Structure 1
Amino acid sequence: MPEPASSIRNLGPAFEAACARAGIHSAEDLRALGADETYARLLQSGTKPHFIGYYVLVMGLQGRPWNDCKGAEKQALRARFDAIRARAFDPHRSEFEATLDAIGVIERPVSRG
């Protein structure tokens, strides 16, 4: 039986529910995706961006306490968070649209990068 996402340090039931909405159903899936792709998928599925949530995820995947992130490391994570938010979060998209996208009803735009 796969481990739930909430079995990862720092992550609780609310984070696990957000992962499920994003199609991430186990700790193994989350580890395979890594922090950046996981967070991008959370944003695409309707989760509102929050820097603390992102670095809590990063720290958890490293097996570290959430408040262990400081100084230059925290600044570097902020830059990564801002980049993920810029590419994956649409502030004009409703939660309903995100749900339709998650089940494959809305076509995703083709990246031209």
Structure 2
Amino acid sequence: MTDPVSSIRNLGPAYEASLARVGIHSADALRAIGADAAYAKLLQNGDRPHFIGYYALVMALQGRPWNDCKGPEKAALRVKFDMIKDQHQSSDTTAFEDALNLIGTGRRR
């Protein structure tokens, strides 16, 4: 029997359920695919991007507390998160969001 995703420190039942929806059903499978690819799958599945969720996953796979990420390391992870998010940004925007983007209020995060 394989260990569940929730056996990894900092990853609970909610994260486990989200990963199961994208075909990642065990801790070993998550370790094999890695944090970036797993998070990209979540975004492709329609999960909303959330930086803390991303870096908590990265820290969990390193065996570190989720809040251990600080300073330059956190800034570098933010760059990676933004790249992953931008690659999987949904093009399904509402007319209201399109209007806001048109007048320059920026895209929704």
Which sections of structure 2, spanning at least 5 residues, go unmatched? 94-109
Q: Which residue in the other structure is 1:82 paired with? A: 82
- 1:83 Cα shift? 0.3
Q: Which residue in the other structure is 1:44 paired with? A: 44
Q: Which residue in the other structure is 1:69 paired with? A: 69
Q: Which residue in the other structure is 2:99 paired with? A: none
| Higher gyration radius (CA) | 2
Which sections of structure 1, spanning at least 5 residues, go unmatched? 94-113
Q: Distance in 1 between matches of 2:62 and 2:83?
A: 21
Q: Which residue in the other structure is 1:35 paired with? A: 35
Q: Distance in 2 between matches of 1:46 and 1:22?
A: 10
Deviates more, 1:83-92 or 1:63-72: 83-92
Cα deviation, 1:12-52, whole Å, max 9, x if unaligned, reads 00000000111111111100000100000011112110000
TM norm structure 2: 0.82
TM norm structure 1: 0.79
Q: Distance in 1 between matches of 2:91 and 2:69?
A: 27
Q: Which amino acid aligns with 1:7?
A: S
Which structure 1 residue ranges, 4+ long, deviate > 6 Å from structure 2? none
Q: Which residue in the other structure is 1:107 paired with? A: none
The verdict on how the C-alpha distance between 1:86 and 1:25 changes in structure 2, with shifts beyond 3 A counting, is: same
